[in-house]
Amino acid sequence: MDAIAPEFDKFVARHHAYVDETSAGLDGLIATLRAARDQLAGTDQDAGAKKAALAMLSLDVKGQTSKIMDTTKDISSALAKCGKAIDKKFGTADLEWNPQAFEGKDHLIRQLIGEHFIREGKFELASTFQKESGLSAAPAKNSQFQELNDIIESIRHHDLGPAIEWAESKRFELNRIDSTLQFDLHKQRYLQLLADAGPRSPGLMAAIEYARKYFSQFPACIREIQPLMLAAIYAGQPTAPATYRTLLARATSPTAWSNLERQFARDFCSLLGLSPDAPLYTAITVGTTALPIIMKMSTIMKEKRNEWTASNELPVEVPLAPRHQFHSVFACPVSREQGTDLNPPMMLPCGHTICNESLKRISKNGSIRFKCPYCPQDTTMAQALRVYL
């Protein structure tokens, strides 16, 4: 991914400039044409003068159109370089895949795409997609995601008012899931006030009054509150100790704001019984993380002329971020094998757990009583219960 990221970064930067330049160019072109129309319609110029005016207009339009076309060529070139970077990185790959993997699952894919549009706040696009795909709309869910996107947009602009108001209205629900969102929002707002304040300024007193009003609601966070209050002593002072400089820098830290966005989205979706990330985003992120490793493995195995025949299992580990690890993995303490749907973990009456194949082997397919491999309790295969992870 490191080989591809620079080209995509260039494309994104060029795209933003392209949108601004093209919009300005088109607006200018439209204004020129309207002004020429009004001028020609409102005067009694002779045919020669009108012809000369139209000739000048033609030159002006060609010049502005040429600038717009040049901008379009730049963005097309940047996009083409992205494609070349992908071809260079993945073009020689010849991975085998099962074309029936998505057979009969078209409705699930459409549902994922539709939900992704909703989560991204593209409600008009989502509505059109739902109609064309034959999906049923969910106005209530759309409204909830509209609220989420509006608040996230406010946080991105460092406006915490809507988020704090929402967290206050959901105080009891957030407490039930042991969320620290409400405290973290007030903490960030307090640091904002400190960042705008100088020593002995009215702004400093406003920050302290804010802390007194809201931090008293969170006695369990006293260890975090103490350094926050001490940070007020060093507000606006460049010679502050490193600990407090780091703390005060959180008010403008992009990482701190990004983490706050993610925390808000996670807790908002948790109250709805949903994952914080759209499933489509998660699937693509995990896929792009795993693909280079799988490709490298495939290349090595072809060079050594080896084949991997185990189903539902890879010969290499694919490292994923903790937020993308959704299912626990059980390794049987007897056989050291990983549990699967065909060989699930089974819990014995004593509480110890082994895989089903180990259970069959020890009990001789349920024909005898046996002792748990880890304690002296006798049991039978019929007494074991399947564990679902």
Q: According to the model, what pLDDT value does residue 136 have?
A: 63
**Residue carrying the six token digits 């989560």:** 119
The pTM assigned to this predicted structure is 0.53
Q: Are both 173 and 267 inside the same structural domain? A: yes
Residue 222 resides in a domain = yes
**What is the rounded distance in angstroms from the CA atom of residue 21 to the CA atom of residue 14?**
10
**What is the rounded distance in angstroms from the CA atom of residue 224 to the CA atom of residue 245?**
15
Q: According to the model, what pLDDT value does residue 303 have?
A: 77
Q: Are both 10 and 57 inside the same structural domain? A: yes
Q: According to the model, what pLDDT value does residue 161 have?
A: 93
Query: What residue spans of 201-241 are helical by DSSP H?
Result: 202-214, 222-231
Q: For every residue of 30-57, which 3-state class applies, written as one string?
A: HHHHHHHHHHHHCCCCCHHHHHHHHHHH
Q: According to the model, what pLDDT value does residue 162 have?
A: 94
What's the pLDDT tens digit per position in 161-216?
999 999 999 999 998 888 899 999 999 999 999 888 766 667 788 889 999 999 99
* DSSP-assigned letters across all residues of 284-342: HHHHHHHHHHHHHHHHHHHHTT-----TT--SS-----GGG--S---B-TTT-PBP-SS
Query: Helix, strand or coil for residue 59?
Result: helix
Residue 208 resides in a domain = yes
What tokens does 313 get?
């299992």
CATH classification at residue 357: 3.30.40.10
19 is in which domain, residue-wise? Answer: 4-88
Q: According to the model, what pLDDT value does residue 232 have?
A: 86
Residue 290 resides in a domain = no
Q: Are both 128 and 49 inside the same structural domain? A: no
Q: According to the model, what pLDDT value does residue 313 have?
A: 62
Q: According to the model, what pLDDT value does residue 4 have?
A: 67
Q: Among 53, 72, 88, which residue terminates a domain? A: 88
Residue 296 resides in a domain = no
Number of domains in the chain: 4
Q: According to the model, what pLDDT value does residue 2 have?
A: 58
Helix (H) or strand (E) holding 347: strand 345-347
Residue 43 resides in a domain = yes
Residue 387 resides in a domain = yes
- Which residues of the chain carry a pLDDT beneath 70? 1-5, 15-20, 42-45, 89-98, 121, 135-142, 198-201, 306-315, 326-328
If one counts every other C-beta atom within 10 angstroms of the C-beta of residue 348, the result is 22
Q: According to the model, what pLDDT value does residue 15 have?
A: 67
Q: Are both 148 and 167 inside the same structural domain? A: no
Query: What residue spans of 42-105 are helical by DSSP H?
Result: 47-90
Cα dihedral sign for 380, 381, 384, 385?
A: negative
Q: Are both 41 and 144 inside the same structural domain? A: no
Q: How far is CA 249 from CA 195, 254, 377, in A?
A: 8, 10, 59
Q: How far is CA 70 from the centre of its chain?
A: 34
Q: Are both 177 and 119 inside the same structural domain? A: no
Residue 292 resides in a domain = no
Residue 101 resides in a domain = no
